[in-house]
Amino acid sequence: MSSSAERASLQQFAVSSLAAAVLDGEGTIVSWADTAQRLLGLRSEEVCGRPARTLLADPEDWERLRRERREPGWEGEARLRHADGREVLVGVRAIALRAPGGPGGGSGDGAGDGLGDGTRLYLVLGAEVGLLRLWRQNHSLVEELFAQDRIGLAVFDTDLRVVRTNTALFPYTGLPDALAGARLGDFLAPQDATAIDDMLSKIMRSGEPEVGVTMRVRTLTDPRAGRLLAMSAFRLHSPHGLPMGAAAAFTDVTEHEAAGERLQLLHRATSVLGGSLSITRTCEDLARVLVPALADCVLVGLAEPVLIGDEPVLDRNGQAVLLRTAVAGADPLELPESARVTALPPPGRGRDGGVVLGDLSGRAAGDSAEPGTEPGTEERAPRCWAPPLPGAHSALSAPLRARSAFLGTVTLWRTEQTVPYCEEDLALLEEIAARAALAVDNARRYTREHRAAVSLQRSLLPPSTARNAAVETASVYLPADAGGGVSGDWFDVIPLSSARVGLVVGDVVGHGLQATVTMGRLRTAVRTLADLDLDPEELLSHLDDLVTQLDVATSDEARSTARDSLGATCLYGVYDPVTRRCVFASAGHPPPALVTPGGAEFVEVHPGPPLGVGGLPFEPVEVTVPPGSVLALYTDGLVELRRGDIGAGMAELRDRLVASGVLDHPLTRTAESLVATIPPDSLSDDVTLLLARTRAVPPRDTATWSMAAEPAAVPRARELALEQLSAWDLDMLAFTTELVTSELVTNAVRYGGGDTIELRLTRADTLICEVSDVSSTQPRMRRARLTDEGGRGLYLVAQLTHRWGSRYTRRGKTIWTEQLLTPPLG
């Protein structure tokens, strides 16, 4: 056996309990070590000079052992007799030594006849078989650990130099033998080498092991991202208990950690995406969640129709124009606002058309994102939007595709992170892009439905401002569902006859589209009933009957969808600028506020039951309104909020109306300021506010005459009308007014049935002519035949005036007409 083989064999026995003895060629014990005494309990003087066979438990085994010992470097097992009589199974190793005094001695290789050769001496080593097997197992374990490369091993001396390592020690550092005697700083990045040296030094001082420490390790030859190692280290001790170095075991967890980070990013993106129904907000969330976890800069581009909720449409070349929608990690001005890309279908199973863009350092500003594409050529537009970005060295791009529709692309760049993108990064981006595309498409669909709902709501409500002879109004509408933007609150300003105006505010039970539809039906009904010039209490009675009928007629399907029964509150008032009187009636609605120079107070209305309850009357309340005063009509959402105390809310509204200076400031600004202080999260109900600044018709602009109901009244009425028009400098309306006055007075004399009639002219924003009598019969316009002598009066009146109509009064009826003060040309 060679000397190196012998050293390797001896290493198996290099323990303090190894027994040793020297035998001569005849098998006689020449020397006896203390370790042998501990093994068999026999002292040196008891065994030296004795034949070794006397130590066997069965002396007859000597011949067998002698024959086997002829083999060089013999190893085997022997059963020996302990001093106390018990048998001990011992593993034995016999090594030939030089012959004492012989010229040159023996060869030392174990050649020759073995025991029985008197010219040789033999060193016999032994240990209990159980302990020997444990030694061999430990040795095999250590050798196999250093032979494999799945777990990295390194042994350091007390100076923290590498003593031994395996092939897994720090990738890209070369062969293990080349590292022997080197310090970590010789092949690792300085900051990483220092961190590991500090950990090993701490272990050497304290003796406490470090377990599961994760470190990023970069080498001098590849100082980029390096590898992530999970390390455990402990101190090594000599047989005497003194520190002799340290050992470290480590595994490369780079891919494992990267997979975990990708999974966490996917979960984080999933939780963030879909949290908003805004298309732009969804794209911004996508960009923010990718920076800096996966990219240093992100650009999200969407097709132009998608941003307004429409279906994405490709041109005949399968291309779409993308608009810059969201940017993170870079100045948006560094990126173009739009680009044309080709919306290719998914290339194959498991892929969604994404692309990894490699080295970008050499790309010029006009270079295309993909090989073989020309940005300025419509027929060959790229399938990803990856414009040049200063400092970027690697990029990823994936399409946003949902329900087979191409919505846009998301592009990632790396500028600070040194590691280029790989296929695993692309697979992650495609998965995130697929989920983001569904969120964007849901937001797009919601935007489309929301736009339709808002259009419906706006079509059902009047303009926010209005101006006529009676009032100047401004309104604010704030739905509780800020996302949906639709509700059941409504308001209206309805022009009535004789320069009067109807003011309406109402609140339908519930929210959403169903409440909006109900609101539209009620608003139409109020306008229809108001056109009949009904008193406020009578109008609410008719409206209450209508709501009851609508509730009964509602289908079972609609009822289950609405969840609530049909119901509403409503406040209706009629203001007359001639008398400066306003009459209110309430169906379960909060009272209006009246702001005058002396302060603000609520009109003491007597609210009846909400609409749809039925069975109880509605009571009118009449108040005198000074010119320039402001009426504030509102829904309960303005005064309830989340406090629930409507009384406190009304008191707060009164104080804010006074403090706002509404009498001296524009109504629109005042209305907006009154609702601007409401916290968005405190809205539990829709808010509607209608402000109306009242006007008055001066006494000089009104003329009233009472005359007997006889034929002579007709020419007298014409004369009075012409004189008044001359006084008002309205001679251009003389002919029409004379004809209208003659026809109306004639009808009153002929069909009124009373003793007197009344003629009134009013100059407001139109010229109003009214004739009142005691009859309750409404006039009816009809088409006269050629042979009829009459029946053409009302037809002429309708053709010559701007508007005309008839209303009931407490003493009969009034027929009225309106003429524009400036007649239309032609």
Average confidence score pLDDT of the chain: 83
Q: Tokens for 274?
A: 């879909």
Tell me: pLDDT of 411 over 90: yes
Cβ-based neighbours of 174, under 8 Å, separated by 6 or more = 187
135-144, 332-341, 367-376, 653-662, range with greatest mean pLDDT: 653-662
Cβ-based neighbours of 479, under 8 Å, separated by 6 or more = 485, 486, 487, 489, 511, 686, 687
Instruction: Please give the model's pTM, rounded to 2 decimal places.
Output: 0.62
Q: Measured between alpha carbons, how far apart are the two ends of the chain, in Å?
A: 131
Question: SS3 string of 584-639?
Answer: EEEECCCCCEEEECCEEEECCCCCECCECCCCCCCCCEEEECCCCCEEEEECCHHH
Question: For 654-680, what is the mean pLDDT?
Answer: 88
Tokens 């320069």, residue located: 499
What is the share, in percent, of the chain residues with pLDDT greater than 70? 83
- pLDDT, tens digit, 9 for 90 and up, residues 794-805: 888 989 999 999
Q: Which of 3-12, 353-362, 601-610 has the least mean pLDDT?
A: 3-12
Cα(518)–Cα(362) distance, rounded to whole angstroms? Answer: 64
Residue 20 near residue 29 (C-beta atoms within 8 A): no
Tokens 């594409």, residue located: 373
Among 610, 427, 654, 420, CA closest to 508: 610
Nearest-5° angle of CA 577, CA 582, CA 586? 150
Q: Which of 355-369, 508-522, 606-620, 783-797 has the least mean pLDDT?
A: 355-369
Pick the residue with more confidence: 692 or 510?
A: 692
Please compute, for residue 677, the number of CA atoms within 13 A of its CA located in the half-sphere on the CB side.
11
Residue 585 near residue 540 (C-beta atoms within 8 A): yes
91-100, 129-138, 176-185, 630-639, range with greatest mean pLDDT: 630-639
- pLDDT, tens digit, 9 for 90 and up, residues 466-504: 999 999 999 998 776 655 556 788 999 999 999 999 999
- pLDDT, tens digit, 9 for 90 and up, residues 232-248: 999 998 877 889 999 99
Cα(250)–Cα(253) distance, rounded to whole angstroms? Answer: 9
Handedness of CA 505, 508, 511, 512 (dihedral sign): negative
Q: Tokens for 743?
A: 């026809």
Residue 670 near residue 658 (C-beta atoms within 8 A): no
Sheet holding 687-694, edge to edge: 465-467, 471-478, 687-694, 630-634, 593-596, 599-602
Here the contacts of 717-726 (C-beta below 8 Å, separation 24 or greater) are 717/741, 717/742, 717/745, 717/759, 718/742, 720/759, 721/759, 721/761, 721/769, 724/761, 725/761
Pick the residue with more confidence: 149 or 817?
A: 817
60-69, 140-149, 802-811, range with greatest mean pLDDT: 802-811
Pick the residue with more confidence: 368 or 428?
A: 428
Cα(19)–Cα(94) distance, rounded to whole angstroms? Answer: 12
Cα(533)–Cα(336) distance, rounded to whole angstroms? Answer: 61
Q: Tokens for 657?
A: 């109306």
Residue 545 near residue 629 (C-beta atoms within 8 A): no
Q: Tokens for 347?
A: 């290339």
Question: For 404-418, what is the mean pLDDT?
Answer: 89
Residue 200 near residue 248 (C-beta atoms within 8 A): yes
Q: Tokens for 556?
A: 């079972």
62-76, 552-566, 796-810, range with greatest mean pLDDT: 796-810
Band of residue 11 on the pLDDT scale cut at 50, 70, 90: very low
Residue 297 near residue 257 (C-beta atoms within 8 A): no
Residue 547's Cβ-count burial label (10 Å; 0-12, 13-18, 19+) is buried
Strand 766-773 vs strand 756-763: parallel, antiparallel, or unpaired?
antiparallel
Among 58, 60, 74, 57, CA closest to 23: 74
Cβ-based neighbours of 678, under 8 Å, separated by 6 or more = 478, 638, 641, 687
Cα(511)–Cα(487) distance, rounded to whole angstroms? Answer: 5
Tell me: pLDDT of 116 over 80: no
Cα(30)–Cα(175) distance, rounded to whole angstroms? Answer: 48
Residue 415 near residue 389 (C-beta atoms within 8 A): yes
Question: For 754-776, what is the mean pLDDT?
Answer: 93
Pick the residue with more confidence: 368 or 426?
A: 426
Tell me: pLDDT of 641 over 80: no
Pick the residue with more confidence: 346 or 292?
A: 292
Residue 227: count other Cβ atoms within 10 Å of its Cβ. 19
Tell me: pLDDT of 346 over 70: no
Pick the residue with more confidence: 225 or 170?
A: 225
pLDDT at 106: 46
Band of residue 341 on the pLDDT scale cut at 50, 70, 90: confident
Band of residue 334 on the pLDDT scale cut at 50, 70, 90: confident
Band of residue 8 on the pLDDT scale cut at 50, 70, 90: very low
pLDDT at 486: 66
Band of residue 825 on the pLDDT scale cut at 50, 70, 90: very low
Q: How many residues does the chain have?
A: 826
Cα(804)–Cα(736) distance, rounded to whole angstroms? Answer: 13
